[in-house]
Chains A and B, each alone.
Chain A
Amino acid sequence: MYKQTIASLSDGLHQGTFSSVELTRQCLERINRYNAQLNCFITVTEELALADAREADRRLQSGEAAPMTGIPIAHKDIFCTDGVKTSCASRMLDNFIAPYDATVVASFKNAGAVMLGKTNMDEFAMGSSNETSFYGAVGNPWDSTKVPGGSSGGSAAAVAARLALGATGTDTGGSIRQPAALCGLTGLKPTYGRVSRYGMIAFASSLDQGGPLTYTAEDAALMLNVMAGFDEKDSTSIDQAVPDYCAGLNQCIDGLKIGVPKEFFGEGLDSVVGDRVEQAIQQFEKMGATIVEVSLPNSMLSVPAYYVVAPAECSSNLSRFDGVRYGYRCEEPVDLMDLYKRSRGEGFGAEVKRRIMIGTYALSAGYYDAYYLKAQKLRQLISDDFRRAFAGVDVIIGPTTPTTAFPVGDKLDDPIQMYLSDIYTIAANLAGLPAISIPCGFSDGLPVGMQIIGAYFKEEQLLNIAHQYQQETDWHKQMPEGFS
């Protein structure tokens, strides 16, 4: 059963071919068998999962079931789960039992989905390799010597190895799309404000957005149907009607205008990755799409702008972790200042401290104009580039990442090289646009992802295009050896 998509398993559950308890047990058995090797779960909630599954079976039998009812999924450990440890992969929150559910978590509960557990990630979502986790690195199911990407690396590895049928992730600079690309999955970052951030531990509030990681675009549509929507508990949630994301999947893409930004195919792009994406673009042409070259001249400044905006906002957001109300507290503080400094110094890992310090500096007296203000102006220029491009095309397609999965340890000591692995994904966050990564081939046995960026609130169109591509190709159906 674990090899099937959420869509087909949902049919099986509704037809009574098998029960949610059976399906959930199979996932739990796979977690027991493979998690020691992959380290993709921080917490496995076996008993809760079986209780969820029994309740789902009751709903299925009584005709109260929704499409996600009884489907076992995993949540990134950044989403608060009432009564369940929510660590954000940090020592700071190693002892934190969340006292409430994130809206996304509550929505999946209401839909009857089964929570298998909480997935590993880069600490506070700061990283692109899942190596900054307090709980250790995560293995890429395609090659254990390679990283799964990050920060939603545990979610990506869990789904790629078929330990969970889908997983939630969050994307601040590429943290859904980059691990989806590196693990051969479909990963969608919705429009800023589409999915509630309530109970999603904040990293950079003007960029953070939750979304699904799945095998297929259809599965992503099923998950987004649950996740998307207005939430008055999130002050940046957008009050706009949510379509049925499954309804438009089968529309023909004949006549679609695809923009290809020349800046995304320049220096730094691995030639095989570039070839695979070019082949995917040719495939779209065969399917009736028109290809237009577009230019996003300021997009290459998105990484520097991001490494001002994101650290600045993180330095403010993470000031809440003070060792007073919850989370880690140092031993024997001599005074209040000592309590703050040592609790934070000991509770946060190296990359988190680095970003807090960059952000503190960028926001400190006398430097605001040179850093944060300039970065926010650049964001406007980057956004204007997209606006101009979308005047002539429907979507923009390019690579998700410059390379396939890189070796464990390769970039850990060189922050800037690590930051540059998000060079193609960050611009969509800065502009608040939706974007999806889907598998489009392999290089030396490792998956290659292509990114499709849409105009605001065009998630339905992105999923339609991705689904149509997946009807013509079978890259998304490949499974890593050793987990089949």
Chain B
Amino acid sequence: MALDRSDVEKIAHLARLAVSEEDIRAYTCSLTDILKFVEQMDSADVVDVTPMAHPLDAVQRLREDEVREVNQREKFQSIAPQVEAGLYLVPRVIE
């Protein structure tokens, strides 16, 4: 599967990554190479194989629905880029 630059631009958008013009070109080549490399998987017959969900067949553990964590908002927000009145600030979303 060969990617072209518009594919890479679309992937970068889906991944929310700003990628420069120059880098788009480089990624187009390296991503294509990697996808070609992983196509080696096609040599295995996996038609009737059940995909692995967990190596030890463990299932999700459940617990009582109770509050265990204490509120540490101030501590957590002390490392945030921008907060005000206990809220995280981002550029205006709604005019």
Contact = CB atoms under 8 A, between A and B. Distances in A.
Interface residues of B, number: 53
Contact of A358 (B23, B34, B78, B90): B34
Interface string A176-211: 000000000000000111000000000000100000
Question: Which secondary structure dominates where chain B touches chain A?
Answer: loop
Given A334-B91, A344-B18, A379-B52, A323 B79 contact: no
A477 interface: no
Contact of B49 (A307, A360, A380, A431): A380
Report the interface size class on chain A.
35 or more
Given A340-B16, A341-B18, A374 B41 contact: yes
A380 B72 contact: no
Nearest to A297: B44
A375 interface: yes
B51 A376 contact: yes
A226 to B, nearest CB: 23
Contact of A346 (B18, B33, B40): B18
Given A192-B56, A193-B58, A344-B17, A324 B88 contact: yes
Contacts of B40: 301, 304
A431 B55 contact: yes
Interface of A: 95-97, 99, 191-193, 206, 232, 235-236, 238, 298, 301, 304-305, 307-308, 315, 319, 322-327, 329, 333-342, 344-346, 348, 350, 353-354, 356-358, 360-361, 364, 371, 373-381, 383, 415-416, 419, 430-433, 456
Interface of B: 3, 7-8, 11-19, 23, 27, 30-31, 33-35, 37-44, 46, 49-56, 58, 60-61, 63, 72, 75-76, 78-82, 88, 90-93
21 contacts: A96-B79, A99-B72, A99-B75, A99-B78, A304-B37, A323-B81, A326-B76, A326-B80, A336-B91, A337-B16, A341-B17, A353-B27, A354-B30, A357-B15, A361-B31, A373-B51, A374-B46, A380-B50, A383-B52, A431-B55, A432-B56
Given A238-B58, A338-B18, 4 more contacts: A335-B92, A356-B17, A360-B11, A375-B38
In order of increasing CB-CB distance, the 8 nearest A-B pairs are A432-B55, A345-B18, A376-B51, A329-B81, A377-B46, A341-B18, A377-B49, A379-B52
